[in-house]
Structure formats: C-alpha cells, structure tokens
A = this chain, B = another copy of it.
Amino acid sequence: MKQRLMTPGPTPVPEETLLELARPVTYHRSGPFRELLKQVTDDLQYLFRTENLVATLTASGTGGMEAALASTVPAGAKVICLVAGRWGERWRNLARALGLDVVSVAVPYGQAVPPRHLAEALRLHPDAKAVCATLCETATGVKNDIAAYGLLVAATPALLLVDSISGLGCVECRTDEWHIDLNVTGSQKALMLPPGLAFVSVSDKAWEVMDAAAGAPAFYFDLRRYRDALATGDSPFTPAVSLVRALKVSLARIRAEGIEAVWEKYARIAAAARAGVQAMNLELFAQAPAESLTVARVPEGIDGNVLLNRLEKQYGIKLAGGQDTLKGKIFRLAHMGHIDAFDVLTALSALELVLLEMGHDVEPGAGVAAFQRVLAESVAAPQAV
C-alpha cells in the first residue's frame, strides 16, 4: 500500500533531498563545507526574513530552544512563558529546569494567548528578561500573534524568544519586522528534512545581552560559540554534514518558489482543509488556526485511536492524534513542507471513508467537494497548489 506521512513532524522529505542524504560523507573542516555552510546560512536568513546570523545546531528543536534560553537568561532571572499547549509547556519546563523564575501566562487548549495578556504580564513583571512564545502550537493547531507580541516586547528590555519549529517556512513569520530576538526552528517540519538540525536566529539586542553576561551555564548550547565559529566559516562542533547538505537542497526548493508564495499557498490549503473538515460534520479544535496543520475534534461516540489506526492500516495515511490529555480526542493533519493540496485532498478522502465506516453522519463526497470549492475560488488565477 502507498504510505503517506501527514503528521506535523516529521513530514515527508522530497526524493531529491533523500538522495542527497545517500551521498558519501565528506570532511567538515574543508573549503567546500565552509562554502556550503555559508550558502545555507544565507538561505536560512532568507527563510527567516532576517539580516541576523542564523546558527545551525545538531539537535532536536528542543535543543534549539534550550540554546536560545540558556544563552540569554541567567539562572534565577525571570521569564514570561506564553502557554497555549504542550509546546508552550515545553518552554515553561525548560525554563524551570534551567532554574529560571517562570511567570506562566496560560490559556485553555484550543485558544491562542491574547496579546493583551502579555501586555499585562509585562506591566506586572518589568524585570522579566525574556518572553517565550510559540508561533504554531502544534498540539492544538493554534497560531499565536507573534507580530503583536513583538511590538510589546520590543518596547521593553526583555528579549522575545519564539519557537517556530512547526511553522517557519510555511506560516508567515518575519523575524526582523516582528522583533523576534531569538527565533528557533527545526529541520523536520516545513523545511522538508529528517529531524536532527535546529536553527536559531539571534538579534543584535540578544547578542548585546549575551556579551554583557559572564557566560552561559552551557557549552554545546552557548550560541556565542556558533557565532565565533561562523566568523571563520566553521561550525563549532562536528555538524551533521549529511543533513546540512540535504538542507541546501530543500532550501533551494523554497527559494525557487519564493517564501511569500509558499505562505500564500499554505494559507489557501489550510482554508480549504478547514472547509473540508467542517463539511464532514467535524468541529475544528483551534480557535485561531495555523496554516501548517488542521486539528479537529474526534466526534462523540468514535474512538480516536481506532480512527487513526484504520486510516493507517486501511489507507496508508498517517495522521497524528492528540497528546497527553488530548489523546483520543483530536486528530492532527499536517499541511507543510512537502505536503501539497492534493495530498490533503487524499487525506480528506480517506478520512471520510473511515468516518463513514465508523457510523459518523457524513454525506459521501461532502468533505472533498468543500475542499475543492475553496481551492477553486482561491486559484482563480493560476497559482501553485
């Protein structure tokens, strides 16, 4: 059976990128590798919409988040964590593990954190050294208003740290314009690569904080080491050379398409996916949905685990379920990276078939037709889908 990976990370990797991974390993302390690192750093700046340095770390996304936090906020200092789900909680748990004084600004699952909550927290905690936010809360499918947070934080001495792991390269994200001081993403989502690399952009404001500090209680995650090594074209530690080479292939693909065009494409796909899901009498879970994934509630009387298992076993479609308290209650369908409109159409078709089998009240064809209608409206002029 044909297999289709549609989880919000890892996402499918294009064949040309996979083949790059199969090429022989090369030495990293060499002219060609320095050239490559220069090229991907430039491509990452394009992707991040930033003039700032973007460090490439060999680590999961969480490693990038730890690098951003450990490099800039000393133990005991205060941070404001905006929490709209499991990944906001990741910032909070990370900050606590690092011995920081955490102010948690939380909302119920399914909601975004309103900027006015952040404004209030900043007013109450003018001594906060950093604000930790999440672009797309992958656990719930919610998108937070990073641009609004950026305006608020830029007016204070605090730094804005954003986890854009599940979104950057798919969802609009303007690092410099939105005043994001440390923007963290990972390889295995919109960047169309296997997991293993994390990327962190660093603003001048953040470098100033780091350079004024005695030093980070970290070594591998001390971002200054990446800056110093990049100054001579190098990586401070042996990088995952195969993944860095593959990164170049994937980033070239995004650059060729144009990042704004990619954002628009996924906005269209996401709108169509939401229409399709709702036409199947399913309730959307996210109140402020992200363009990178669609999350819906599993209908009453249907076991979410059985639903996902049938999708996988009968139709080869791998969606993700809910995590922790949301286990069995929601499903999550990714549309980012190497997943296009027709892949989403396929997933909706299979989903409808399984829902019908399981006795859910849905008109056969309603989901795919609604998806198609929205897509057709948005592509009146010829555009990539």
Contact = CB atoms under 8 A, between A and B. Distances in A.
A221 B221 CA distance: 10
B59 A59 contact: yes
Contacts of A188: 25, 238
Interface residues of A, number: 54
A7 interface: yes
Contacts of A104: none
A219 B217 CA distance: 12
Given A59-B59, A59-B63, A196-B240, A222 B97 contact: yes
Contacts of A75: 217
B217 A98 contact: yes
B5 A24 contact: yes
A318 B27 CA distance: 8
A216 B97 contact: yes
Contacts of A94: 219
A10 interface: yes
For the complex, would chain A's binding face be called helix, strand, loop or mixed by DSSP majority? Answer: loop
Contacts of A3: 24
A167 interface: no
A26 interface: yes
Contacts of A25: 5, 10-13, 188, 194-195
Contact of A241 (B10, B27, B97): B10
A167 to B, nearest CB: 15
A39 interface: no
A66 B221 CA distance: 10
A58 interface: yes
Contacts of A58: 58-60, 63, 195-196
In the assembly, how many copies of this chain are there?
Answer: 2
A256 interface: no
A22 B28 CA distance: 21
A151 interface: no
A66 B24 contact: no
Name the residue among A7, A97, A98 with the largest chain B CB count within 10 angstroms.
A97
A242 interface: yes
A66 B220 CA distance: 7
B97 A238 contact: no
A93 interface: yes
Nearest to A321: B29
Contacts of A21: 18, 21-22, 242
Name the residue among A26, A98, A196, A221 with the largest chain B CB count within 10 angstroms.
A196
A385 B197 CA distance: 36
B222 A62 contact: no
A239 interface: yes
Contacts of A289: none
Nearest to A196: B240
9 contacts: A5-B25, A18-B24, A22-B22, A58-B195, A61-B238, A62-B220, A62-B238, A196-B240, A220-B221
Given A22-B22, A63-B63, 18 more contacts: A5-B25, A5-B27, A13-B25, A28-B195, A59-B220, A60-B220, A60-B239, A60-B240, A62-B237, A62-B238, A63-B237, A66-B218, A66-B219, A97-B215, A97-B222, A99-B217, A195-B239, A196-B196
